[in-house]
Amino acid sequence: MSAGDIATVVTAVITGVGVIIALLTYSYSVASTPRVRMKIGPDVAMHYDQHGVLIVRADFVFWNAGAQPGAISEISGRLAADEPDGAKLTFYWRTFEEIDVLRGENGKSVWWSHSTGPVYPIIVPGRAAGSSSVVKGIRLYEISGSGRSGNLPVSKPGSLPAGRYRVSLEAIVDGPKRTSCPYRFDLTISETNSGQLDSDCRENKDAVWHHRLIARRSPSSSVQTTNEAADDLFESQGLRDY
């Protein structure tokens, strides 16, 4: 093979490698479909509305490992007790929520949480947009009646018993293909906190509440000690007035 033939082959190989690299770069940075993941913040807040419907509030974090944006169009959840005949509830996404800081008397900060209206799709940008994450305060509402089973009779809503629960959340992601992203965690409620949730965390006839039960992620549950990441554990802590 002559030197000219060798140069031609080398040029062709370099050109082919360049084309492959360009295609891979395009696929990674521009063309890859959304791959949205979901997690929640360190706190979960719970209270009942005036009809005994359980409302669960958390900061939801969505991030997108794909290049194209994805739209969160639906979020649902299920709470199930460990024991076979234990409480089982289903939830759906109904409102957003924000927490603001106001200046009170003597310069003291006053925290105030409020609904920001009905839901709308959440657009999670992809890598092509430069930023690929979104954080939203979200309220999930128990599906009244049809969602209750186990030791939570429909005729007496509310009164979530003490115990350990598995909470399974799922978000529907619309894009070129409809996909879903799940997130699961365990929730424990003490006897004392269960009674507080039942007696002190209810809206009045004007849909105003004064306390919510807070469950906080256990620090040890966030540390991965094996090859498989364990589900997060949230433990009830007490009442909060925002």
Residue 99, pLDDT score: 87
The helix (run of H) or strand (run of E) holding residue 94 is strand 88-103
Using CA atoms, how far apart are residues 209 and 236, in angstroms rounded to an integer? Answer: 19
Which has the higher per-residue pLDDT, 15 or 167?
167
pLDDT at position 193 over 70: yes
Using CA atoms, how far apart are residues 148 and 100, in angstroms rounded to an integer? Answer: 33
Assigned token pair, 143: 């599906």
Strand partners, 142: 91
What contacts 215, CB < 8 A, 6 or more positions away? 43, 44, 45, 46, 187, 188, 189, 234, 235, 236, 237
Which has the higher per-residue pLDDT, 112 or 191?
191
pLDDT at position 237 over 50: yes
User: How is residue 149 annotated by DSSP?
Assistant: B
pLDDT at position 149 over 60: no
pLDDT at position 106 over 90: no
Give the domain ranges of the chain.
Answer: 1-31, 34-240
Whole-number average pLDDT of the chain? 82
The residue assigned the tokens 């924000």 is 98
Residue 22, pLDDT score: 44
Radius of gyration in angstroms for the set of CA atoms belonging to the chain, rounded to a whole number: 24
Residue 32, pLDDT score: 76
Mean pLDDT, residues 90-119 taken together? 86
Using CA atoms, how far apart are residues 211 and 92, in angstroms rounded to an integer? Answer: 22
**pLDDT tens figures, 202-223:** 999 888 889 999 999 998 655 5
pLDDT at position 153 over 50: no
Using CA atoms, how far apart are residues 61 and 40, in angstroms rounded to an integer? Answer: 6
Contact between 211 and 182 (Cβ < 8 Å): no
Residue 233, pLDDT score: 96
Using CA atoms, how far apart are residues 94 and 142, in angstroms rounded to an integer? Answer: 10
Residue 108, pLDDT score: 79
User: How is residue 224 annotated by DSSP?
Assistant: -
